[in-house]
């Protein structure tokens, strides 16, 4: 009887322990429900931070909603660093000859291009005193790896032409075809960029064409200001070609973001929306469309300004965001970049530029033309010693040229996977 009693007591104790453990550890279902609740709270809080009350909202033909928000309500001012920041409504200086070139090139060699705008303009404009901001949707945040990661680059994506081992770039998944200058102090950069709609193989890949202004080393202290056009299904949820900007002051670790998705760039313009679709785009052996971008440092205030076309001064990056770029840039890069996410040894078929190699020329290949830098005297001039770089010329390539009303230019891009780039 004594042994049987002890057995009963032991069974009771085991059942008590198991019951206590069950009560202490939430079930998989309850944990999942709790996680979803936390994620939903974070998503809603971020949407509230990014989507400010609109004076007017415009739905574009591409499905975007553009909210016209008061200039002082933009997300930049949510950060304590901006608490007492006085908005600079106009730059003190433009680089000389910044307005000398026409938006539309003449019919002389190598070809002509046409005026470009944004899709949402077809359905309305934002009033004075507001800025247009693409509304962030819940799905946009849910596509990101986390709410905090939304609007940020996942990896360092700066091409480093001086690297002794180009394979490092291929292994990182990023490939480039660029022209660049270094070895001097640069106070801005300008170019006219042909706009296309390259095909993207995987949603987590992207294709872009941009200007980089760089300061510091290629380590953890890298400063970068970037502007151009991109296709990024992960960020925007579609395959439209969009105007974008980016910045970082610590090599993409903790600082910086795309467009207006964090404190950083301050927009003053009410006509052009960051992250909005560009319209129309170039066609193969058809009409060609390009955008002109100028980034320059205001010699008086020290802020870095962005201009789109000849008429739209969009806004600025305050000098206090940066360490090295608070003075000047040490390298300028122009060109294309893609992400290759293929892990089985086969190259992605994501296109760069038009998806055609530079040797096909005007109307077929993508280009940068009228490439210029801003010097220490605030003058626009043709860069000396323009060099080129690409990791795999059989996948994406670049070819420079000079002359005529195109000034210093280059064709670039390619199809990615092809018989010579398996």
Successive 10-residue mean pLDDT values, the chain, 422 residues: 50 44 48 69 92 96 97 88 90 74 38 76 96 97 92 78 54 87 97 97 96 91 96 97 97 93 95 96 96 96 96 95 96 96 87 98 98 96 96 97 96 97 93
Catalytic residue among 101, 337, 391, 399: 337
pLDDT score at 3: 47
**168 lies in some domain:** yes
Q: Are 150 and 261 in contact (CB under 8 A)?
A: yes
Could you confirm whether 337 is annotated as catalytic? yes
**246 lies in some domain:** yes
**13 lies in some domain:** no
pLDDT score at 202: 94
pLDDT score at 159: 83
- pLDDT digit string, tens, across residues 210-254: 999 999 988 889 999 999 999 999 999 999 999 999 999 999 999
Number of domains in the chain: 1
Range of the domain at 144: 57-413
**349 lies in some domain:** yes
Q: Are 50 and 40 in contact (CB under 8 A)?
A: no
pLDDT score at 23: 41
CB-facing half-sphere around the CA of 240: CA atoms within 13 A: 21
d(Cα 62, Cα 164) in Å, to the nearest integer?
Answer: 44
pLDDT score at 285: 95
pLDDT score at 195: 97
Q: How far apart are the first and last CA of the chain?
A: 79
pLDDT score at 350: 97
**419 lies in some domain:** no
Residues 6+ apart with CB under 8 A from 224: 158, 212, 213, 214, 215, 246, 247, 248, 251, 256
Residues 6+ apart with CB under 8 A from 69: 52, 53, 54, 55, 130, 131, 133
**261 lies in some domain:** yes
CA distances from 387 to 182, 390, 400 (A): 9, 11, 9
**22 lies in some domain:** no
C-alpha 412: how far from chain center = 19
Residues 6+ apart with CB under 8 A from 226: 210, 211, 212, 213, 245, 246, 247
pLDDT score at 39: 79
Q: Is the dihedral of CA 191, 195, 196, 197 positive or negative?
A: positive
**93 lies in some domain:** yes
d(Cα 271, Cα 267) in Å, to the nearest integer?
Answer: 10
pLDDT score at 105: 37
d(Cα 376, Cα 365) in Å, to the nearest integer?
Answer: 34
pLDDT score at 109: 44
Catalytic residue among 226, 333, 391, 399: 226
Q: Which two tokens stand for residue 150?
A: 């939304």
Could you confirm whether 226 is annotated as catalytic? yes
pTM (predicted TM-score): 0.87
pLDDT score at 112: 59
């Amino acid at each position: 009887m004594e042994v049987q009693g002890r057995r009963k007591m032991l069974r009771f104790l085991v059942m008590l322990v198991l019951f206590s453990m069950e009560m202490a550890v939430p079930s998989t279902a309850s944990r999942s429900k709790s996680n979803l609740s936390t994620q939903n709270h974070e998503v809603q809080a971020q949407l509230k931070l990014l989507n400010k009350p609109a004076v007017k909202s415009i739905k574009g033909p591409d499905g975007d909603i553009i909210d016209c928000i008061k200039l002082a309500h933009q997300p930049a001012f949510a950060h304590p660093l901006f608490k007492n920041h006085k908005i600079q409504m106009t730059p003190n200086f433009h680089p000389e000859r910044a307005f000398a070139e026409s938006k539309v090139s003449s019919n002389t060699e190598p070809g002509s291009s046409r005026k470009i705008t944004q899709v949402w303009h077809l359905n309305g404009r934002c009033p004075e005193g507001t800025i247009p901001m693409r509304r962030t949707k819940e799905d946009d945040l849910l596509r990101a790896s986390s709410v905090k990661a939304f609007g940020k680059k996942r990896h360092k994506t700066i091409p480093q032409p001086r690297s002794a081992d180009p394979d490092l770039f291929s292994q990182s998944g990023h490939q480039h075809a660029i022209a660049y200058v270094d070895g001097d102090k640069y106070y801005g950069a300008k170019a006219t960029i042909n706009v296309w709609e390259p095909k993207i193989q995987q949603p987590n890949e992207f294709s872009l064409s941009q200007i980089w202004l760089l300061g510091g080393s290629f380590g953890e202290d890298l400063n970068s200001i970037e502007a151009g056009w991109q296709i990024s299904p992960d960020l925007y949820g579609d395959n439209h070609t969009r105007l974008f900007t980016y910045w970082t002051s610590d090599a993409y670790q903790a600082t910086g973001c795309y467009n207006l998705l964090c404190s950083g760039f301050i927009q003053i313009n009410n006509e052009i929306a960051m992250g909005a679709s560009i319209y129309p785009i170039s066609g193969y052996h058809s009409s060609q469309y390009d955008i002109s971008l100028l980034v320059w440092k205001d010699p008086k205030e020290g802020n870095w300004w962005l201009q789109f076309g000849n008429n739209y001064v969009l806004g600025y990056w305050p000098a206090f965001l940066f360490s090295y770029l608070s003075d000047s840039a040490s390298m300028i890069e122009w060109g294309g970049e893609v992400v290759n996410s293929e892990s089985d040894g086969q190259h992605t078929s994501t296109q760069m530029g038009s998806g055609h190699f530079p040797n096909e020329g005007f109307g077929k290949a993508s280009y940068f033309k009228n490439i210029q830098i801003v010097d220490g005297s605030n003058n626009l001039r043709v860069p000396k010693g323009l060099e080129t770089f690409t990791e795999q010329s059989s996948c994406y390539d670049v070819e420079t040229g000079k002359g005529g009303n195109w000034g210093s230019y280059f064709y670039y891009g390619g199809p990615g996977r092809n018989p010579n780039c398996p």
